[in-house]
A and B are shown apart, each in its own frame.
Chain A
């Protein structure tokens, strides 16, 4: 009986972890500036995809933002940094690599995307690993399920 309970618990844990990877909804306390500012050039990325020190480094150099000038007034910058840090991940596998750190270079991201062929990242429909919606058709709604993948060759 005890074993049965334990294995049920194990299954539940596995399922909840899987569900977490599929669902990354926008935190309810996101300021309107999050979509308006962060979301104008790319998907407003889920804050849980980087760690707090990572977000601080990103927000400290918005004038040199991955090859683009994304500078903001200080009030908005502060508001967004606070929001991102509040919802950042505490897990080391979410730490981004690079300067500023990239969430597409964390151990977690690499593992989740290990089956994606290299050539597809450069496909004209994708262009960049930062273009989540190219494959995850419902990423804007916070959903990253395998069956929603827009490129037929990647669907599971």
Chain B
């Protein structure tokens, strides 16, 4: 029996550093390389963000015994499973720009979307890690299906446990998430601090 309730987060204060966008656009770490036109488009796109983002996350915390006991959950006392997204609005806006041959605007908006999705995942990760600490447990870093020994097909397990449709996320036959700017992950909660590589400063 799954003991924990479904948690849903809807209040996010998305913060995107220009530096991260410029790195993703290939400028490297020196912002001196960035031309004025690109800076202007980034600013314009950032101003559009509030109307394009619908950041939400759902997660659930399971006892190890309630999981499918996949090796990636080994030694965990509890496991948090999570799906988060920025919604479909930004993707649609970006696609429209690309169709209109406004390729750079579309690319920059898409890049902002990737960073926004990452920020939602980061904030949710932090929220879950705090729950682990309140339980007196040590949270692992977050890991997503498709990385390490966790096969991409295990997305289906997360989507079986979590009501992804409540936040507008679905899984394709090839285990991709729609909207694309979505992140799924798990965090193991350990009794032994030495089991996690997460840093606690």
Same complex: no
Chain A residues with a Cβ under 8 A of chain B: none
List B residues at the A interface (Cβ < 8 Å). none
